[in-house]
Structure 1
């Protein structure tokens, strides 16, 4: 698949730093070599000839050099992961990157040129459903939005209005307050799910009755156009296209987003379920 972005390359940036499993590596240091591909839209800078509309590769190179100097990791996998995250967090024009971290002086006792780790990380768009029907429902939703926006690697971009709805699933309980939000994140789906569970637990969520009352319920509805089915996570959410309390707030913030399996927009799905509401 062709990536929909242009590329800025930084190749073989040499840095002397103190990373490694052995104490002498942390004490004496050694050479590391960084190669980087930044996935960006160079069109604005290319047409205007203005540096501020692009990503300054010199600044990024200096940023990574300083980061390697100021931190110490045992594994180059860890160093690569942290550097990739820091670039995504500090340079908003970067949509994603491929980073290769080479260790040419790796102490393995064998004749080799280098060892390296190469990773690719991108920002993704997820849509999250929120619900509450116990206690101060609005406060629980407000706090969930705030907490999710404070998670490292997450940024809440849009939040729907709050919708009062009747309970789903036939369990006698109070009405729900529901909403949806659009989330920018570099967390993979299962890590995002773990963070949602953390936020639910902070709101004293108890999973006692299926479709029963809860202080806070957070569900991943969509994650880019990903289709996945695992024991604890199904994307797209298996019943999102049947639930008016999901489709109505989702339509408010993403009416033209298409369901990756049904190939219908959220607005179309909402019209089918809600009769054109």
Structure 2
């Protein structure tokens, strides 16, 4: 991956917890590291295929100064997401913010925070077997598309499936969508749980009936055993109603633990 650097941009702004910081302001030193592919730009001498770092510098400075924040952690997160939203060619951004005049009553060179944000691809499984099942799924997709920093980029067909795990219930409709997102898996899962609640999801019986079920199946090549969101989904390789629609939109997506493509997992399961 190619890199573009903006190092030690000096900006005067009014960020800080203390009243004096907000009133008087102070100097901050900002650095950016962008990861992208600018080979086409280099070969064709075409700036539109890279990032105009002069333009970016001015845009970031304007963003930096437009609102006072208590925490510089908030500032770097805001800048990182702005860069990824503004420049689709950028795959990942690292932001380092130094605060050389930090009011701690001690001598120090500077206090600083650093963050990295990236453009990620996630696959979300949707299922419903109560009421107007198709509408619940369609409404969920619309709501997911409206989540900030989430863009729906692929949609599989909606398929009829038999219940799995607990069979004494109505048949399901299932599908899978692909999204591009700047959110972390935990942030995305919180949004999905909120949408489930909006669509009257009630959790009474494991694998039981539900108006809508939203699960993160894959998220980049991440392997996570976080209690809040386990990735890859631990039962995805056992569920044809997940693999069938996932295979429509991402047959070559790799299961990072089993080291198999989606089409291979589906073939194994059918055998």
What TM-score, normalized to structure 2? Answer: 0.97
Q: Does 1:83 align with 2:113?
A: no
2:255 counterpart SS class = coil
Q: CA deviation at 1:8?
A: 0.1
- Counterpart of 2:30 (choices 18, 34, 48) is 34
- Counterpart of 1:74 (choices 66, 70, 77) is 70
Counterpart in the other structure of 1:146: 142
Q: CA deviation at 1:232?
A: 3.1
Q: CA deviation at 1:274?
A: 2.5
Q: CA deviation at 1:236?
A: 1.0
Give a deviation string over 1:77-117, Cα, whole Å, max 9, x none. Answer: 11111111111111111111111011111111211121111
Q: Does 1:60 align with 2:60?
A: no
Map 1:144-223; keep pairs closer than 5 Å. 144-223=140-219
Map 1:212-251; keep pairs closer than 5 Å. 212-251=208-247
- Counterpart of 1:132 (choices 128, 132, 140) is 128
What TM-score, normalized to structure 1? Answer: 0.95
Residue segments in structure 2 that go unaligned for 5+ positions in a row: none
Q: Between Structure 1 and Structure 2, how many residues are aligned?
A: 271
2:11 counterpart SS class = strand
Give a deviation string over 1:207-257, Cα, whole Å, max 9, x none. Answer: 011111101000011111111113232211111101110000000000111
Greater displacement, 241-250 / 51-60: 51-60
Q: CA deviation at 1:53?
A: 0.8
Q: CA deviation at 1:61?
A: 0.8
1:107 counterpart SS class = coil
Paired with 2:100 and 2:247, the residues of 1 have a C-alpha distance of 52
Paired with 1:6 and 1:44, the residues of 2 have a C-alpha distance of 11
Q: CA deviation at 1:120?
A: 1.1
Residue segments in structure 1 that go unaligned for 5+ positions in a row: none
1:177 counterpart SS class = strand
2:16 counterpart SS class = coil
Paired with 1:80 and 1:228, the residues of 2 have a C-alpha distance of 25
Q: Cα RMSD over matched residues?
A: 1.1
Q: CA deviation at 1:27?
A: 1.0
Q: Does 1:13 align with 2:9?
A: yes
Q: CA deviation at 1:260?
A: 0.9
Q: Which runs of 4+ in 1 moved over 6 A?
A: none
